[in-house]
Structure 1
Amino acid sequence: MFNIPPAEWQARCDLAALYRLVAYYRMTDLIDTHITLRVPGSGQHFLINRYGVPFEHMRASDLVLIDFEGNPVPGPFGVQRVNTAGFVIHSAIHATRADMHCVIHTHTAAGMAVAAQRDGLLPLTQHALKFYGHLAYHTYEGIALSLDERERLVADLGPHKAMILRNHGLLAGGASVAEAFHEIYFLERACQAQVQAMAGAAALVQPSEAVCRHTAEQFRDDEAAGIIDLAWEAALSLIEPQRAQWCA
């Protein structure tokens, strides 16, 4: 398709579908925020959205192949603009985390609300316990336009796959689009539940530390059992009628 290697075209289709699923679950912010995917076998290149395309309309051909310095790779779709902040955040992770092939960044109301709370994500729900001991935090430094911030962001992320960007939003990733989607979905739902629980103005119950750690490990076991891929296929079925559009 369009004289693009098959592996890259499949990556484009998968990423376009992920953009549309993020829109389906209302995790968009007009034309801002971004999702990236490292192209198999490309080494120093990853795909990011063409700036200005609503996530609901994202197509494989709307994705831009760029290197870790933000330079677009010549291709059949001409010159396409990308979000500089998206490049800065995502290039830092792709360049240093070989296990993070796909990275999602969002600015949802619930995500920003928890990002503004001093104690961050609390162990209030089963969804939140997925991240117990597995969640990083990065202090806000302004709009992510400075390349200097990349080192600090990566250092704060450490070995984790999910991070709260304080006063900003959420970030999650994984070895595949399926895993990245699973991470952001659970993190977003955990934030939504926390905001609603705290709005009730009632005393909140938190499980013991032993239960929190046990539940976090149970999530690791479920993921190893293939639950992530099952969830991804189930989510894709919700937008299946759009397949011809996103893979174009």
Structure 2
Amino acid sequence: MQVRTELAAAYRLVALFGWDDLVFTHLSARVPGPEHHFLINPYGLLFHEITASSLVKVDQDGQVVAAGGLGRVNPAGFTIHSAVHMSRDDAGAVMHLHAADGVAVSAHRDGLLPLSQTAMLCLDHLSYHDYEGVALNLDERERLISDLGNKSMMLLRNHGVLTAGQTVPETFTYLYFLMKACEIQVKAQSCGPTWMPSEQAVQTTAEQSQNLGAAAKLTWPALLRLLDSKNPGYAV
């Protein structure tokens, strides 16, 4: 039940930060146990409506195992998420967004630039995957996981962002850093010429970012307090 509650909270937080896209995009989490099952949103609910009991359990083939609400899932969501869950034992959660600033940076020729401390904390964790169309082709899974490698963050070119982590709190923390870096870049580039840090500064920050996911120990309890004050009820 803890994973369900955490994943429902993550959906609500995405809505709270304004990163949702109506009923589209997806966050998923692996269900503890020997079965290859994971939880994902029911196709048709807005993110601020998601509760722990409404999440749908599916197997590695995208077949619904247990439905708490609408009982259907987005097939494109299954393609992307199953690829990561099936290939990475450490991918306890996967989060994918179409948030505008993330899409904008994914479409930028140079991708994410070291324009802020936040971006520099992300760069060593970041990979890229070229757009192939709406993710309905299961053949794309092999290319996506090859591009992701062992990274925790990905820019899906012309499409959006993706993060993967051991837990929901860790994966959301990666997502927050990546989205914040994209937001800063869009604002910085709208102001005119930008100032680039030294290569030494970029390298030093990359070395300092190696335990970035550990920040979840501090960020997640604070995020839950924020959510409880703004949009409670996700745990039901």
Alignment TM-score, normalising by the size of structure 1: 0.91
**Residues 111 and 78 (structure 1 numbering): CA distance in 2 closer, same or farther, change over 3 Å?**
closer
C-alpha distance in structure 2 between counterparts of 1:230 and 1:35, whole Å = 21
- Residue identity in the other structure for 1:165: L
Measured in 1, the distance between the counterparts of 2:9 and 2:66 equals: 23
> Could you tell me which residue of structure 2 aligns to residue 238 of structure 1?
226
What is the match of residue 93 of structure 1? 84
Structure 2's unaligned 5+ residue stretches are none
Distance 1:243 1:167, change over 3 A: closer
Seq. identity, %: 48
Structure 2 partner of 1:247 = 235
> Which residue of the other structure, out of 185, 194, 198, is the alignment partner of 1:208?
198
Gaps of 5+ in 1: 1-8
Aligned residues: 236
| CA–CA distance in structure 1, aligned partners of residues 212 and 190 of structure 2 | 31
Q: CA deviation at 1:219?
A: 2.2
Counterpart position of 2:71? 80
Which runs of at least 4 in structure 1 moved beyond 2 Å after TM superposition? 219-223, 241-244
Q: Which residue of 2 aligns with 1:50?
A: 42
2:171 corresponds to which letter in structure 1? A
Asked whether the 8 Å contact 2:42–2:69 carries over to 1, the reply is no
Q: Does 1:40 align with 2:4?
A: no
1:176 aligns with 2:167: yes
Match of 2:121 in 1: 130
- Quick check: 1:127–1:186 contact (8 Å CA) kept in 2? yes
In the alignment, the residues of structure 2 paired with residue 234 and residue 157 of structure 1 have an alpha-carbon distance, to the nearest angstrom, of: 29
Give 2:225's aligned amino acid.
S
Which of 186, 189, 193 is the equivalent residue of 1:198?
A: 189
Give secondary structure in 1 for the equivalent of 2:162: strand
Deviation at 1:146, TM superposition (A): 0.4
What letter matches 2:160 in structure 1?
A: G
Q: Over the residues paired in the alignment, what is the CA RMSD in angstroms?
A: 1.6
Change (3 A) 1:135 1:222: closer
